[in-house]
Structure 1
Amino acid sequence: MASASPHSREASTAAGSPRKSRDRSRASPRALLGSEPTVNEQYVESVLSTVELIPAGQVASYSDIADLVGRGGPRQVGQVMSAYGSAVPWWRVVRADGQPARGHEQQALTRLRAENVPLNGNRVNMRQARVTLQRTYREQN
């Protein structure tokens, strides 16, 4: 995969012409957010740090991540992943029914298969692959 994330977006300038958002794939979450995070940046940091805890071969749903972080919901986690998720294993975060991120299904499925994640067709078998992060998350936060 190229250095551009499947989650990167084009941003608009004030004049309305599109420009590419900067490549975030090589930066750590802290480097992206600077040294003194705001409340929103703290949420982004919490989401990304939680996603980094998901081991290869396992997945978490957007709602699992939101529950662990303790704020927001699956849509807010999805927004964070869309904007900043290229620096973390984004393919390990799936919808509650096991479907990979919309628009990135093939890339995600390729990576999930490489990690031997149990699949039922093009969906993750959530009973077998869902990770339990509560203890790990609490130890690190």
Structure 2
Amino acid sequence: MKKIMNEQLIYEILSVVEEIPEGKVATYGQIASLIGRDKNARLVGKVLSQAEFYGRYPCHRVVNYAGRLVPGWQEQRFLLLEEGVSFKDANHVDMKKNKWEC
């Protein structure tokens, strides 16, 4: 049976995002695994794209599995740099140094 996106699921995702420490990043897949939905990384991305409707969360600390930033979100890089996150190139976080080990 297919699970639907509801308020409880949204807040589960956002509560994990809220736990990511300053200066660290997590992946969409990592967050999906932490809430028990291993194959729903895209769902995490969908929720994060609408997070502003639920409050202030450090969504800038979430990147894809390779450390790639969100395309078109220029502020993400700036916010991560302010927190001391290092980059491999202009669009990729150095995951070896900055991945949140939870």
TM surpasses 0.5: yes
CA distance in 2, matches of 1:121, 1:64: 22
Please, which of 73, 83, 90 is the counterpart of residue 50 of structure 2? 83
Query: How does 1:1-141 map onto structure 2 within 5 Å?
Result: 40-71=6-37, 73-85=40-52, 87-104=56-73, 106-122=74-90, 123-133=92-102
**What CA RMSD, in Å, does the superposition of the two structures yield over aligned residues?**
1.7
* Residue type at the aligned position of 2:87: L
Tell me how far apart the structure 1 counterparts of residues 50 and 60 of structure 2 sit (CA, whole Å).
14
* TM-score, L = length of structure 2: 0.85
Q: Which sections of structure 2, spanning at least 5 residues, go unmatched?
A: none
Counterpart Cα distance in 2 of 1:132 and 1:41: 27
> What CA deviation, in whole Å up to 9, does each residue of 1:13-46 have, x standing for no partner?
xxxxxxxxxxxxxxxxxxxxxxxxxx71111001
- Return the letter of the residue paired with 1:90: C
Following superposition, the deviation at residue 102 of structure 1 comes to 2.0
* Cα distance in 1 for residues equivalent to 2:71 and 2:28: 13
Task: Please give the per-residue CA displacement for 1:58-94, whole angstroms capped at 9, x wherever unaligned.
Answer: 0000000000011251100000001125620011000
Q: Which has the larger radius of gyration?
A: 1
Aligned-residue sequence identity (percent) comes to 37
Deviation of 1:56 after TM superposition, in Å, equals 0.6
Give the unaligned 5+ runs of structure 1: 1-38, 134-141
